[in-house]
């Protein structure tokens, strides 16, 4: 199978890149596995097998960045629970609810164009290509607008939590 041949040829080089991006071997191994799974599912989107290594590395970087973001948010979202049945304490529920409300308000306050791009790409998890097709714009336009959307959201959240 073509996919197996490409993986055998490029996985070691991509793994070394993921070690650099992720910062440790354990995360790099997890990221590579997830990237290979995603690549296999999206293989039909790869137009040129020569670009497989760069394509797989890009998928891996995206997975690693999402892993980092999730890890950074873990202390915020994993509030301690001492309730006997495992439910969060009422105070913790209130804190989490307030956090979620603030993030939703920040997203709602974004310019409509930025909000739509952000929602499709970062909340629904659509690929850049899928977002571009859905909105009828180029991949470059999606990337540019997504960058501005993330900057806008970051600025709003920084002001909210300052």
Domain boundaries in the chain? 1-78, 84-162
pLDDT of residue 12: 92
pLDDT of residue 144: 94
pLDDT of residue 128: 92
Q: State pLDDT tens for residues 109-149.
A: 999 889 899 888 888 888 999 999 999 999 999 999 999 99
**Exposure class string for 78-89: b at 16+ Cβ within 10 A, else e:** eeeeeeeeeebe
**pTM of the prediction?**
0.46
Q: Which two tokens stand for residue 103?
A: 């993030």
| Separation of alpha carbons 62 and 17, rounded Å | 12
| Separation of alpha carbons 53 and 3, rounded Å | 11
* Position 16 pLDDT exceeds 60: yes
Across residues 39-66, what is the average pLDDT? Answer: 86
pLDDT of residue 147: 93
Q: Where are the alpha helices (DSSP H) in 23-127?
A: 25-41, 52-77, 90-108, 112-118
Phi, psi for 126 (deg, rounded to 5): -70, 150
pLDDT of residue 84: 62
The SS3 assignment for 85 reads coil
pLDDT of residue 99: 78
C-alpha neighbours within 13 Å on the C-beta side of residue 112? 1
Mean pLDDT of the chain: 83
Is domain 84-162 annotated with CATH 2.30.30.100? no
Is domain 1-78 annotated with CATH 3.40.50.300? no
pLDDT of residue 135: 92
Regarding predicted confidence, which is higher, 162 or 142? Answer: 142
Work out the angle at residue 15's Cα, subtended by the Cα atoms of residues 30 and 54, and round it to the nearest 5 degrees: 110
């Amino acid at each position: 199978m073509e996919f197996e041949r490409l993986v055998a040829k490029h996985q070691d080089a991509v793994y070394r890149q993921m070690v650099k991006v992720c910062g440790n071997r354990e995360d790099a191994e997890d990221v590579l596995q997830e990237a290979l799974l995603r690549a296999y599912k999206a293989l039909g989107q790869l137009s040129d097998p020569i670009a497989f290594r760069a394509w797989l590395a890009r998928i891996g970087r995206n997975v690693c960045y999402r892993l980092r973001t999730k890890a950074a948010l873990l202390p915020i979202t994993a509030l301690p629970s001492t309730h006997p049945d495992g439910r969060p304490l009422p105070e913790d529920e209130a804190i989490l609810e307030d956090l979620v409300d603030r993030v939703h308000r920040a997203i709602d306050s974004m310019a409509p164009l930025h909000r739509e791009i952000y929602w499709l790409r970062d909340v629904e998890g659509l690929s850049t290509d899928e977002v571009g097709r859905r909105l009828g714009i180029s991949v470059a336009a999606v990337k540019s607008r997504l960058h501005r959307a993330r900057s806008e959201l970051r600025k709003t959240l920084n002001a909210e939590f300052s």
